[in-house]
Copies of this chain bind each other. A is one copy, B any other.
């Protein structure tokens, strides 16, 4: 097991109506708030009104940034930075799903930074002294509610990239599973695929001796397999929503990547290009690509780990690693299909002509992936296999 540091200090407030506790949590860090949210869903479900009432009751001044889109745009980030500076704000409260939270993080990083916030995803600037932030989560998917990462899109260059810093971990996150009752089947399925994809990215490495990390990763995968279909079948299944929500946070708060910090992450890098080209739902893109990636990278070196997943998560009974791995990959594809996720790029609206540009952007900084290093030709082959 390799050395690691681990610290996941975000305070989790989990349960029905836990949003009522945000007043003191905010006041521990600030008094002038940027309230960040997306479209009408937080208003429709009454969450917006509830939060506004709570802030007013606590005499917390706030300014609003609304209209943050899925695959949050750098333009929203720039708007948020400007608002924080204009109004001298000292705390950011994000209410929504991963996109809203990611936008809030990029704003938090951008406020004290002299240059343009797109410098963070491009690796041209480091996050220093960001504003503190808190979140009220409405979608179980990205895990951003308990980590310091964000993914931002830039339409000008049709690109989508990650950024991150420990200092961007939310001070608190409210996880109320009942806030996800109104998430539709498509987003519920995509969220489940996203959680599982995060585990895959950290599980599939060539590290040895990480038994406990792997066993916990397998536990989270089994949670998704148990409850993804249940949440699809009955939207207000609290137990299913609760297990998925806690799974989303634990899947990407650093726990399963202790001692294996790099992970693989090639599939995320490839998926980001799908979203950038076609605004594809992130989890749907991952559901298309992951089984194709697993099949492509299967070789003598990677077979044992793929077989381990097949046996421990999907109950595959096969002595031969390659045979077990193939059965496990089939199980992943069948599971994603059963959730109603697409299984080809064509279904996702990507055309063969899009591929060269996607390959170029995915490999902008060289080969990608830790479990199996993908050159541009490999990325192209995976996109073609996924068409």
Contacts and interface: CB of A to CB of B under 8 A. Distances in A.
Interface string A201-226: 00000001101100110111011001
Contact of A227 (B211, B222, B250): B211
A208 B226 CA distance: 14
Interface string A313-342: 000000000000000000000000000000
A200 interface: no
A212 B14 contact: no
A313 to B, nearest CB: 11
Contacts of A215: 218-220, 222-223
Nearest to A227: B211
Contacts of A12: 4-7, 258
B209 A1 contact: no
A12 B257 CA distance: 13
Contacts of A14: 3-6, 258-259
B1 A18 contact: no
Q: Which of A212, A216, A238, A258 lies at the interface centre, i.e. has the most chain B CB atoms within 10 A of its CB? A: A212
A7 B11 contact: yes
Nearest to A8: B8
A1 B15 CA distance: 8
Contacts of A291: none
Given A218-B219, A259-B14, A209 B4 contact: no
Given A14-B259, A219-B219, A209 B5 contact: no
B239 A209 contact: yes
A44 interface: no
Interface string A1-45: 111111111111111101000000000000000000000000000
A246 interface: yes
A97 interface: no
B7 A7 contact: no
A348 interface: no
A350 B220 CA distance: 42
Contacts of A13: 5
Contacts of A1: 177, 238-239, 242-243, 246
A220 B212 contact: yes
A227 B211 CA distance: 9
Contacts of A218: 215, 219
A10 to B, nearest CB: 7
A310 interface: no
Contacts of A223: 211-212, 215
A247 interface: yes
Nearest to A220: B212
Interface string A221-250: 011001100000000001100110011001
Contacts of A212: 219-220, 223, 243, 246-247, 250
A191 to B, nearest CB: 15
Nearest to A224: B212
A258 B246 contact: yes
Given A2-B15, A8-B9, A14-B259, 11 more contacts: A1-B238, A1-B243, A1-B246, A3-B15, A8-B8, A9-B9, A14-B258, A211-B223, A211-B243, A212-B243, A246-B258
22 contacts: A1-B177, A1-B239, A1-B246, A2-B15, A3-B16, A4-B12, A5-B11, A6-B11, A6-B14, A7-B9, A8-B8, A8-B9, A9-B9, A14-B258, A209-B242, A209-B243, A211-B222, A211-B227, A212-B220, A212-B223, A212-B243, A212-B246
